[in-house]
Structure 1
Amino acid sequence: MNLFRSVRAVTTASGTGVIDWDAVAEAAKSSTDPGDLTLSAEEREGFASDVRDARTRLQTVAGVEFDLPDTVEVQNRHHWIDANVRTFRRVMAPVEEHGVSVLPGVTRVLNTGTMAVMLSFLANNVLGQYDPLLLAEADDADHGLYFVRPNIVKVADSLDVDYPRFRRWIAFHEVAHAAEFGAAPWLSTHLEQRMEQGIEALADGGVDRQAFRELDTAMTAVEGYAELLMDWAFDDDYSDLRAKLDARRSGGGPLAQLIRRALGLGLKRRQYERGAAFFTAVADRRGVQAASRVWDHPDNLPTDEELDTPEKWILRVDP
């Protein structure tokens, strides 16, 4: 790590946009240890077999057909930063198009520093990621599946859990997201439209609460359904892994907790819990394949009210 280089990259941010993305990447990587990516043949095959097994089990349990992403990568932290700089650059494009009229140089440095700190923090904590490549411009853009090997190894060690089992659990969770987007070809467009509406409103100085509310509801369904599939598809009970990981995430120093709140990671946990409770209730009454009907059409997504009253969703979608 080179903190001086990281600070220099931020303070010398340049260009015409509100964020210097090249400086973001340099600063985030300079302040982040890339981690070890030395894979034995056995470990490489372990990642591959975990992903294949997850696809087979999830197809069987959910009764949905889906393809694995064309891009499946075992990454170090710097690889993850590069991939997500590209993602955030796409998402923030509508805001950057508006630019700033007051102290643009100072604003650019502050925004660049904020993004670098955020990506550095996430790069040290993300275990796996399913990336649907929202807002990608290329017509042939496909989704991606990433595993940050140094973080998986580190967390498994800190939790004192079996590394192959922990790695497999992460694989099942991320492949569950691939199953959702594979079962619902319309889902990417649905999320993109709400995201674009919300970001464009912010760029114009307003807040489109309806767009963000619909985005939150859809993401709650995405996270909750993945949790349901995990309950049914994983090899064994994983409550010990979830409890240990939740305890670890609720710990950390004041700075880590502040960053987590700023990044909305508490909201993500709430989405997991609320969505999982909804889909568990539906599956208990009608089975997993009835719960999978949520992906048949955008109108089948639960409303905010239905997330807390699953019986209303059942009466509407699967009477």
Structure 2
Amino acid sequence: MSDVPFGFGLPGDRDPDRREGGGGDPAGGDPFGLGALFGGMAGGGSPEDVLGKMPLFAELQRLMNWSGGPVNWDLAKQGAISQLAAGHQPSSDGERTAVAEALRLADLWLDQVTEMPSGIDRTAAWSRVEWVEQTLPAWGALIDPLAEKVVAAMTSALPQEAAMSFGPIAGIMGRMGGVMFGAQVGSALGKLADEVLTSTDVGLPLAPAGTGVLVPQNVAAFAAGLDRPADEVRLFLALREAAAQRLFAHVPWLRQQLQDAVHAYARGITIDREAIERGISEAMSAGGMEGLDPSDPESIQRLLGSGVLEPEETPEQAMALRRLETLLALVEGWIDTVVAAAAKDRLPGHSALAETMRRRRASGGPAEQTFATLVGLQLRPRRLRDAATVWAAMTQQHGGADRDRLWNHPDLLPTSDDLDEPMDFVARQGQGLDAELEALTEGDTEPEKPEED
């Protein structure tokens, strides 16, 4: 898993896992062809001439003209689907029927443990390729603002001397960024599509509103390593999907709060200009006056590989990540709690399946991989356990209705500090919950206008 924040993959990176879907040099020395591009610029060729002559960019010249935003989503989709082509299995009619029945039964069971009504209007059994295609709009809303800020920060942080050295390359930095982001996103989505089980497996609702989804090919692979019947595993995962759909459908601010936490991190992205200048100075000292030479790919790669273009995390970003981590933990903990209540007397293998999911999260499941790629966030299992403790204790001490009413307003939810002492938080809840909610929502209504004489 990468420790480098999203969008900061370096051309000299030789990790094959991070080059998948990106094309370029198979030896890993220059996966995006930047060395040849820089050399062509120094030789006086126009960007279009150079792009047309390079094998990788001749193929992607059309994509280089992408004008739909900071991420080239055409390339991302193409890269993800190409990764999945070899093992792709379309969903059968039988699988679609089995998924629909499992989600319907799951909703019936959940009706008895939560007052939140069903959030599923239709069901779907997606193939891995369909998962990529259907979730792209949600990924765009999440990733585009982050990618745009990254490109802007990197461009504005370059000192004037470096910008002059790069010459004509400055004019296509934005398009290059779109290609690089597209390649990275495509690779990440291809890997996720290989293992996601539902549409909410990453902690966010990625399917169109009201659509409950399972990915039968991945569900079968997940069940193959377990000593439980396949239909039992499918029903357990349907319970998790149906519970998540209820939460996101009936807590209207939740989706936006999760996105806002990621975007708050993006707004704080800055790159230390002084560090760049020091890096360039050191490069020049090491290689003489030719230390930074746009015609020398090794010179450019030394600069990029020095780490001077990597952002430094600010206190504001740390707060945004903490909020995101807490929200994701609360979502996952609530799902664990209501699924356990619905399944404990009906699903013989629930305990074993729940433990398998906990181990999956602890070793780095889709949510952790996604957010580590996006913003360097590591979802700690301890936060998930603490969140589940809050929801389970609220159910036991105050009942399911008071437990679910905590979702009526974001300020009612436990904070990261509350999760440090979950039982103290639960002890403070109860009869005062209605009064606290009334106080919080009092200012949400407009005051009545005075009557005119």
Q: TM-score, normalised by structure 1?
A: 0.80
What is the aligned counterpart of 1:124 among 175, 194, 203? 194
Pairwise CA distance, 1:105: 5.1
2:129 match: 78
Shift in Å, 1:238: 1.3
User: Contact 2:199/2:241 (CA < 8 Å) preserved in 1?
Assistant: yes
Give 1:36's match in structure 2, choosing from 73, 84, 89.
89
**SS class of match (2:212):** strand
1:197 counterpart letter in structure 2: A
Q: 1:287 aligns with which of 396, 399, 410?
A: 399
Residue 177 of structure 1 pairs with residue 244 of structure 2: yes
5+ residue gaps, structure 1: 135-140
Partner of 1:113: 183
1:7 counterpart = 2:23: yes
Q: Could you tell me how far apart the structure 2 residues matched to 1:218 and 1:251 are?
A: 20
Residue 201 in 1 paired to residue 268 in 2? Answer: yes
User: Would the alpha carbon gap of residues 25 and 222 (structure 1) be closer, same or farther in structure 2, given more than 3 Å must change?
Assistant: same
Instruction: Tell me the residue number matched to 1:153.
Output: 220
Question: How many Å separate the matches in 1 of 2:321 and 2:223?
Answer: 35
- 2:327 maps to 218
Answer yes or no: is the 8 Å Cα contact 2:198–2:241 preserved in 1: yes
C-alpha change, 1:173 and 1:290, in structure 2 (3 Å) is same
- The match for 1:242 is 354
C-alpha separation in 2, matches of 1:182 and 1:155? 27
Q: Matched residues in 1 for 2:114 and 2:176: separation?
A: 51
Alignment partners' CA distance in 1, 2:20 and 2:408: 52
Residue 338 of structure 2: which of 209, 212, 229 is its match?
A: 229
Percent of pairs identical after alignment? 24
- Deviation string 1:123-154 (CA, Å, 9 cap, x unpaired) is 001011235359xxxxxx73433211111112
SS at match of 1:202: coil
Aligned to 2:98: 46
> For residues 160 and 35 of structure 1, what CA distance do their matches in structure 2 show?
25
229-238 vs 260-269, which deviates more? 260-269
Between the aligned partners of 1:214 and 1:164, the Cα distance in structure 2 is 37
1:317 alignment partner, one of 417, 429, 438: 429
AA aligned to 1:148 is V
- Say whether the 8 Å CA contact 1:132–1:143 is kept in structure 2: no
Q: CA deviation at 1:35?
A: 2.9
- In the alignment, residue 151 of structure 1 is paired with which amino acid? N
Q: 1:56 to 1:26 in 2, by over 3 A?
A: same
Partner of 2:384: 272
1:250 and 1:190, CA in 2 relative to 1: closer, same or farther beyond 3 A?
Answer: closer
**1:62 Cα shift?**
1.4
Post-superposition offset of 1:203: 7.6
Distance 1:300 1:175, change over 3 A: same
Could you tell me how far 1:164 is from its partner in structure 2? Answer: 0.9
Contact 2:102–2:235 (CA under 8 A) maintained in structure 1: yes
2:145 corresponds in structure 1 to: 94
Q: CA deviation at 1:259?
A: 6.1
Which digits, 9 at most, give the CA deviation of each residue in 1:229-281, with x for residues without a partner?
Answer: 011002224122234455567779xxx9x968944796174543332122223
- Is 1:220–1:271's contact at 8 Å kept on the other side of the alignment? yes
Deviations 1:193-217 (A, max 9, x none): 3333233333897653333322222
| Gap change, CA 1:88 and 1:202, over 3 Å in 2 | farther
Does 1:65 find its partner at 2:125? no
CA contact (8 A) 1:282 1:310 kept: no
Which deviates more, 6-15 or 280-289?
6-15
Secondary structure of the 1:128 match is coil
| Maintained 8 Å contact 2:393/2:426 | no
Farther off after superposition, 232-241 or 222-231: 232-241
2:367 is the counterpart of 1:297: no
Separation of aligned partners in 2, 1:23 and 1:145: 27
Aligned amino acid, residue 87 of structure 1 = A
TM-score of the two chains, using structure 2 as the length reference = 0.59
Aligned-residue CA RMSD in angstroms? 3.5
Deviations 1:18-55 (A, max 9, x none): 421101110111011453234244x4332112111222
2:143 maps to amino acid: M
Letter in 1 for 2:430: D
Q: Deviations over 1:83-129 (max 9, x none)?
A: 23222211122234454436445544432222122111100010112
CA gap 1:22/1:261 in 2 versus in 1, 3 angstroms: closer
Q: CA deviation at 1:306?
A: 1.6
In structure 1, how many angstroms separate the alpha carbons of the residues matched to 2:20 and 2:318? 40
Q: Bigger shift: 184-193 or 78-87?
A: 184-193
**Partner amino acid for 2:266?**
I
Distance change in 2, residues 1:26/1:246 (3 Å): same
Structure 2 CA distance for partners of 1:118 and 1:178, relative to 1, 3 Å: same
Task: Report if the CA contact (8 A) 2:219-2:234 is conserved.
Answer: yes
In structure 2, distance between residues paired with 1:156 and 1:133:
23
**Distance in 2 (alpha carbons) for counterparts of 1:30 and 1:51:** 30
The AA in structure 2 aligned to 1:119 is L
Q: Distance in 1 between matches of 2:379 and 2:21?
A: 33
